[in-house]
Structure 1
Amino acid sequence: MGRILRGLAGEGHLRVVAAETSDVAEEARRRHGLSPTATAALGRAMTGALLLAQLLLKTPKERITLRLEGTGPLGGLLAEADPQGNVRGYVQNPQAEVPLRPDGKLNVGELVGAGVLRVDRSLPNGEIYSSTVPLVSGEIAEDLAHYLWQSEQIPSAVLLGVRVKGEGEVEVAGGVAVQVMPEAPEEVLQRLEANLSGLAGLTPLLKERGLEGTLEVLLAGLGFERTDLRALGYALNEIPARFRCRCSREKALEALVFFTPEEREDMIVKDGGAEVVCHWCGEVYRFSPEEIRSLVAEVRCPDCGTLWLYPRADGTLFRIEGDTCRCGRKVEIPSEKRAQA
């Protein structure tokens, strides 16, 4: 399990979040069968999502999603995190690979390519706030720093790293984000810049010094003061970071509702059941003919077949908003179903 630390430096003028995510990145690699460079890309993105969740989210029920849409062979990447340290993610082409950079490092920028970074913030009431910025390099850390400045007006330094070994297993992974608070003294900024410019790389430092030692080097002369997280219920004074998906067997069964009854019956006849794979985590759910045939409570448009209501364990729920179907027909829900919705 990984971990997240928070604190202040530069006499309160720098807000710091740091994460050790080796286990998180390795689980993502294993679940999705990632190539080495895809492992680095997704590991960086998930670590970045964890850092941004600490910097930007205000309540435990909020989530942040990073979506990188690039022209490179990776084809696209998503990572989602919450303030409790839960994160998940996937890439479109998990086995995509490119040659190493001239310096021998994994070329994440080329794998991602040119494109955009979209950041979605999901609020407890269901609203989603989205911001989109062009990718600066595709290396992810620079792109997140650019996003924080362009969309949030937060000058920040972001460092992310994933080192792989052997057959592509993750040796070490982590990240640090340093947010510059308003009216920070020039001498604080100069010291931070000097520390960052003298850094040979994040992963060697994490490997040699660990997370606390890495922060000592990055914030040398700036007086890092670690936030006491025990008051928030974290007995070890750190937030656990883990790959955790929000999928479930119930949600997977619900997904079959979006197929028509005829299509579901065809699954039973041809395959003897159905298999649903979660793209976020790779978990496989298999359903028997009896479970598939239990999905009989949906209400569909008589004209175009659009799903109007679908079943849940606690009743039924509207799938569309408004009173008109996409085909133009007036939505008419039977009274007994409407009462359940």
Structure 2
Amino acid sequence: MGRILRGLAGEGHLRVVAAETGDVVEEARRRHGLSPTATAALGRAMTGALLLAQLLLKTPKERLTLRLEGTGPLGGLLAEADAQGNVRGYVQNPQAEVPLRPDGKLNVGEVLGPGFLRADRSLPSGEVYSGTVPLVSGEIAEDLAHYLWQSEQIPSAVLLGVRVRGEGEVEVAGGVAVQVMPGAPEEVLKRLEANLAGLAGLTPLLKERDLEGALEVLLAGLGFERTDLRALGYPQNEIPARFRCRCSREKALEALVFFTPEEREEMIVKDGGAEVVCHWCGEVYRFSPEEIRTLVAEVRCPDCGALWLYPKADGTSFRIEGDACRCGRRVELPFQGQAQA
């Protein structure tokens, strides 16, 4: 399990969030069968999502999703995190690989390629606030710092690192985000810049000195003061970080309702059932013909067959948004007052 630390430095003028995520990234690598460079890309994005969740989310039920789309062989990736340290993610092409950089490091920028970064902050009400910026380098840390400045007006330094062993297993992974508060004195900024300029990279520090040691080097002369998280319900004074997906067998079965009854019957006849794979975590759910045939209480468009309504097992209902179907027909639902999004 990974961990997240929070604190202040520079006499309160710097807000600091740091994460150690080696176990988290290794689970993602194992679940998705990632190549070394794909592991580094997804590991950096997941770690970055955990850091930004601490900086940007206001309530426990909010979620932050990072989407990086590029023209490189990776195809793109998604990472989703909350403020409780839960994170999940996946890439489009798990086995994508490119040659190492001239300095011998994994070439995340090339495997991702030019493109864009979008960050979505999902509220409990269903509202989503989004910001999109072009990728600066594709190395992800620099791209996240650019996003924080362009979309959130937060001047920040972001460091991310993932190191894999020769066979592909994750050796160490983590990240640090330093947010500059308004009115920070010039001497604080100069000291931070000097410390950053003197770093050879984050992963060597994490390997040699652990997370606390890395913060000592990064924030030397700036008086880092760790936030006491025990008052927030974390007895170890750190937030556990873990790979945790929100999928379930119930949700996987509900996904089959988006197939027509005829298509579901074909699954039964041809395959003897159905198999649903979660993109986020790679979990496989298999369903018998009897389970599939329980999905009968649904309402579809008489013209195009689009799904309009179906009852969920928790007593709520899914219903189409808006008053018109995709084919233009007016949506007419029975018992509309009971339907919930």
TM-score (norm 1): 0.98
**Structure 2 Cα separation of the partners of residues 61 and 171 of structure 1:** 32
Q: CA deviation at 1:132?
A: 0.4
Contact residue 120 and residue 130 of structure 1 kept, 8 A: yes
For 2:339, what is the secondary structure of its paired residue? helix
Q: Is the 8 A contact 1:163 1:170 kept in 2?
A: yes
The one-character-per-residue Cα deviations of 1:237-293 (angstroms, maximum 9, x if unpaired) are: 000000000000000000000000000000000000000000000000000000000
Once the 2 structures are TM-superposed, how far is the Cα of residue 107 of structure 1 from its aligned partner? Answer: 0.3
Contact 2:323/2:331, CA 8 A, preserved across alignment: yes
For 1:54 and 1:338, the matched residues in 2 are separated by 36
Q: Deviations over 1:27-61 (max 9, x none)?
A: 00000000000000000000000000000001000
CA spacing shift, 1:95–1:180, aligned 2, 3 Å:
same
Q: Does 1:47 align with 2:47?
A: yes
Distance in 1, Cα, partners of 2:292 & 2:204: 51
8 Å contact kept, 1:254–1:311: no
Q: For residues 28 and 339 of structure 2, what CA distance do their matches in structure 1 show? A: 42
Question: Deviation at 1:335?
Answer: 3.7
Q: 1:291 to 1:99 in 2, by over 3 A?
A: same
Residue deviations 1:286-322 (CA, integer Å, cap 9, x gap):
0000000000111101111011102211335242122
Contact 1:46 1:87 in 2 (8 A): yes
Work out whether residues 317 and 339 of structure 2, in 8 Å CA contact, stay in contact via their aligned partners in 1. Answer: no
**Aligned mates of 1:19, 1:336 — CA distance in 2:** 46
Deviations 1:185-240 (A, max 9, x none): 00000110111100011001000000000000000000000000000000000000
Which moved further from structure 2: 302-311 or 105-114?
Answer: 302-311
Q: 1:30 aligns to what?
A: 30
Which residue of 2 is the match for residue 199 of structure 1? 199
Superposed displacement of residue 338, structure 1:
5.0
Asked whether the 8 Å contact 2:37–2:107 carries over to 1, the reply is yes
CA distance in 1, matches of 2:209, 2:335: 65
Is the alpha carbon distance of 1:227 and 1:338 closer, same or farther for their aligned partners in structure 2, counting shifts above 3 Å? closer
The 1:130–1:337 alpha-carbon spacing in structure 2 relative to 1, beyond 3 Å, is closer
Q: Tell me if the contact between 2:164 and 2:171 (Cα under 8 Å) persists in the aligned partners.
A: yes
In structure 2, the CA distance between the partners of 1:301 and 1:241, relative to structure 1 (3 Å rule), is same
Distance 1:191 1:120, change over 3 A: same
Q: C-alpha separation between the residues in 2 aligned to 1:226 and 1:336?
A: 52
Tell me how far apart the structure 2 counterparts of residues 20 and 125 of structure 1 sit (CA, whole Å): 31
| Range with bigger deviation, 272-281 or 315-324 | 315-324
Q: Say whether the 8 Å CA contact 1:316–1:337 is kept in structure 2.
A: no
Q: Distance in 2 between matches of 1:126 and 1:266?
A: 35
The answer for unaligned runs of 5 or more in structure 1 is none
The one-character-per-residue Cα deviations of 1:312-341 (angstroms, maximum 9, x if unpaired) are 113352421222222222222234995798
The range that moved more, 269-278 or 315-324, is 315-324
1:339–1:195: structure 2 CA closer, same or farther, 3 Å change rule? closer
Runs of 4+ displaced beyond 3 Å = 335-341
SS in 2 for 1:315: coil
2:16 and 2:201 map into 1 onto residues whose CA distance is 18
Give the Å deviation of 1:104: 0.3
Q: 1:340 to 1:195 in 2, by over 3 A?
A: closer
CA distance in 2, matches of 1:68, 1:173: 19
- Are the structure 2 counterparts of residues 180 and 333 from structure 1 closer, same or farther at C-alpha, using a change threshold of 3 Å? same
Match of 2:18 in 1: 18
In structure 2, the residue matched to 1:338 is 338
Of stretches 305-314 and 147-156 in structure 1, the one that deviates more from structure 2 is 305-314
Residues in 2 aligned to 1:131 and 1:334: alpha-carbon distance in whole angstroms: 38
Q: RMSD between aligned alpha carbons?
A: 1.3
Question: Is the 8 Å Cα contact of residues 60 and 83 (structure 1) preserved in structure 2?
Answer: yes
Q: CA–CA distance in 1 between the matches of 2:81 and 2:71? A: 24
Deviations 1:118-148 (A, max 9, x none): 0000011000011000000000000000000
CA distance in 2 between counterparts of 1:232 and 1:167 reads: 40
Q: 8 Å contact 1:68–1:116 — kept in the other structure?
A: yes
8 Å CA contact retained: 2:63, 2:80: yes
SS of residue matched to 2:329: coil
Cα 1:241–1:335, aligned 2, differ >3 Å: closer, same or farther?
closer
Pairs aligned (count): 341
Please, what TM-score do these two structures have when normalized by structure 2? 0.98
